[in-house]
Amino acid sequence: PRVTDHFVIEGQGQYLVMDYIEGEDLRQRLDRLGPLPEEEVIVLGVAICEALTYLHSRTPSVLHRDVKPGNVKITPQGQIFLVDFGLAKVVQRGQATTTGARAMTPGYSPPEQYGTARTDPRTDIYSLGATLYSALSDTLPEDGLARAMEQTTLTPIRQRNQKVSKRLAAVIEKSLEVRPDNRYQNAEEFKQCLLSARSTTRRKIPVDLTLSPPPAGENEEGDAESGSQDSQEPSGENQSDLPVVIDSRLSNNPDKEYRPRRKRKSSRPWLVLATLFGLIFTGGFAAYVINPALLMGAMSWLPLSSTPASTATLFVASSHTPVVTVDVTHTATLEPEPSATSTQESTALPTHTPRPTNTPPPTATFTATPVPTTQGGGLAQIAFASDRTGVPEIYLTDLDGAEWVQITDIPEGACQPSWSPDGTRLVFISPCKEDQELYRGSSMFLMDADGTHVLPLPSAPGGDFDPAWSPDGKTIAFASMRQTEYPQIYLLDLATSEVTMLPDPNNKANSQPSWSPDGKQLAYVGPRVQIWVMDVSGENRYLLGRGSENLSRSPSWSPDGQVVALTQWQEGFYGFPWLSKVQVVEGGSLVAELPHEFGMADARYSPDGYWLVFHSWPDGENHDIYIMNPSGVSREQITSDPANEFDPVWRPGS
């Protein structure tokens, strides 16, 4: 926990200064919506289990001892935080809890927390179970001490809410056992049972640790009320909102439209909007006066000509790595690129796009710097493009970013690397003057992972780019303008050198193909600057992301084939792009945004599906490579060179 200060005021007690977390707590959410849907409660439970697993695995172990709805915060971005560590205890061998520190919340505290019995991780398991019971039924479970004294019994959840499945009810009721030995023995066991309680069909879908964020108007009221507790707390126990864990995102159930309860109309939103627009205008003008380049850099993300798409807010991925007090700041390095439009005109990439030139394809006269590599990859390696030598070249680096090696040395530049499935070779394009949307006059080349044995692939005037190696290693999908003035997707058979065009049936621009893990489908940027899916034959095309008014590009399929990550930006919005995800459902599904504060683009999944690599520019200028887990948390910066770095891709087997 980030306790920034602690002090004692005579006659008042002890105080802790912790992070302030904006948003509504779970108690306020229940007041607003009533009992929550089963899937949302599972998401909530999994997220808090990950937080508790982190706390309990510290050395020495940390017990929260006050898990309850009032201490679970949901931010305006839909993230979940476990807060208020005023009662947290560091467990030392043989150490008893002092009387003054021992407190409880009736209904959420187990029997052992009332007296002098020893508390352990199973204490937090009980409190989380009571919190989930309350979320499903909007009712407190019977008090643990009263049940231990046989003065009452626990009312089954399904008697309070018949919509709850028997599987989930049994899981939560086990966590509420009076005897600690009869509960789950650790948070990870509880988490796995919660995941198993999902319906058979949903078990095949990655857990989306995201909930719908609270309505904007609710946050102020919720924060004002945050001083109240779920129940009377003993005096001397100072409660503070300290984010200690995880920053897992929650989002709406994709199968159910969110409908908040009706409230009286108020003119406050209009005043807020008017003030907001005034601040934006004033801030934009001031930014232009102080630093015109920064404002123009943001404006460069505005597509020059594209058709509006649709909006989205749902969500996405599973979070596998709990993070304590993580500041959700997306960072990545690469410059976003607007997609081609239906007017058959290619749109320049957002951020300084050079004029296309008919530079002849480079020959194999490069000087490659060999890199020792092992068959199939090695330990977590990433290939990326960087202009640290003056023009983009391709580099390899490990995840710590401490050691990197340049594997191309082409005066005309090289970028857009794509790995072979066995991780021994790369396909890339050249010339490449900088990161952009279209590469007129470029060609594709093959090389070994150490930069040797560079070979040109069959080319034609117009430009070949966006290469993507198929999962079976036999085909390369790519975009080209060899037959049209706007890009179309082609397939190159590596054995026969035969090239097949997959023309858009409506003569619209298609680019940036991404293979499904089974090699049967391609996701790509198509009409209206949106992500589409088609069979490798070019048939059965459908719009993947629905309900979004944002433009989309750079699709990347997850290894399990369930989700596609993408880059989005607002048409007409002077800002930066962000990362989103969409579940792969025939006919399309809602798109969900990942948490973002800075520009982020071009995410690619790791081979195991647990990480995304992308590029970001938190300072508004310098692009670096970052990784994070698919839920948008646990971000780590990989490169920190002053140069611009983009096009990151994981090495298979790493």
581 phi and psi angles, rounded to 5 deg: -140, 155
Q: Give, in degrees to the nearest 5, the angle at Cα 609 between 608 and 613.
A: 105
- Per-residue pLDDT band for 233 (boundaries 50, 70, 90) equals very low
> What average pLDDT does range 402-407 have in this prediction?
90
Q: H or E element: which one contains 537?
A: none
User: What residues does each domain of the chain span?
Assistant: 22-249, 268-299, 381-650
- Per-residue pLDDT band for 420 (boundaries 50, 70, 90) equals very high
In the DSSP assignment, the letter for residue 490 is E
The bridge status of strand 511-515 relative to strand 488-493 is: unpaired
Q: Which tens digits make up the pLDDT trace of 574-609?
A: 578 999 999 999 888 899 999 888 899 999 999 999
On average, the pLDDT of the chain sits at: 76
Position 581 scores a pLDDT of 95
Rounded CA-CA distance 402/55 in Å is 30
C-alpha radius of gyration, the chain, whole number: 27
Q: Which tens digits make up the pLDDT trace of 439-458?
A: 998 999 999 999 999 999 98
Q: Which tens digits make up the pLDDT trace of 302-359?
A: 333 333 333 333 232 333 333 333 233 333 333 333 333 333 333 333 333 333 333 3
Q: What percent of the chain has pLDDT over 70?
A: 68
Question: Among the CATH numbers 1.10.443.10, 1.10.510.10, 3.40.630.30, 3.40.50.12280, which is that of 22-249?
Answer: 1.10.510.10
Looking at the domain that runs over 381-650, which CATH code has it been given? 2.120.10.30
Residue 627 near residue 371 (C-beta atoms within 8 A): no
Handedness of CA 616, 617, 621, 623 (dihedral sign): negative
- Per-residue pLDDT band for 634 (boundaries 50, 70, 90) equals confident
Within 93-245, where are the H helices? Answer: 121-137, 144-148, 157-160, 166-175, 187-196, 200-203, 216-224
Q: Give, in degrees to the nearest 5, the angle at Cα 432 between 428 and 436.
A: 100
SS (H, E, C) 255-298: CCCCCCCCCCCCCHHHHHHHHHHHHHHHHHHHHHHHCHHHHHHH
Rounded CA-CA distance 235/239 in Å is 10
Which stretch of 13-22, 66-75, 143-152 has the lowest confidence by average pLDDT? 13-22
> What average pLDDT does range 475-487 have in this prediction?
94
In this predicted structure, the answer to whether residue 203 has a pLDDT above a threshold of 90 is no
Rounded CA-CA distance 158/168 in Å is 10
- Per-residue pLDDT band for 375 (boundaries 50, 70, 90) equals very low
Rounded CA-CA distance 23/80 in Å is 10
- Per-residue pLDDT band for 40 (boundaries 50, 70, 90) equals very high
Position 60 scores a pLDDT of 83
Which stretch of 62-66, 366-370, 508-512 has the lowest confidence by average pLDDT? 366-370
Position 402 scores a pLDDT of 75
Q: Which tens digits make up the pLDDT trace of 521-533?
A: 999 999 989 999 9
DSSP string for residues in 379-445: SSEEEEEE-TTSS-EEEEEETT-S-EEE----TT--EEEEE-TTSSEEEEEE--SSS-S--TT-EEE
Position 314 scores a pLDDT of 28
Do 22-249 and 381-650 agree at the fold level? no
Q: Give the three-state DSSP class for 26.
A: helix
- Per-residue pLDDT band for 251 (boundaries 50, 70, 90) equals very low
Return the structure tokens found at 647: 């096009």
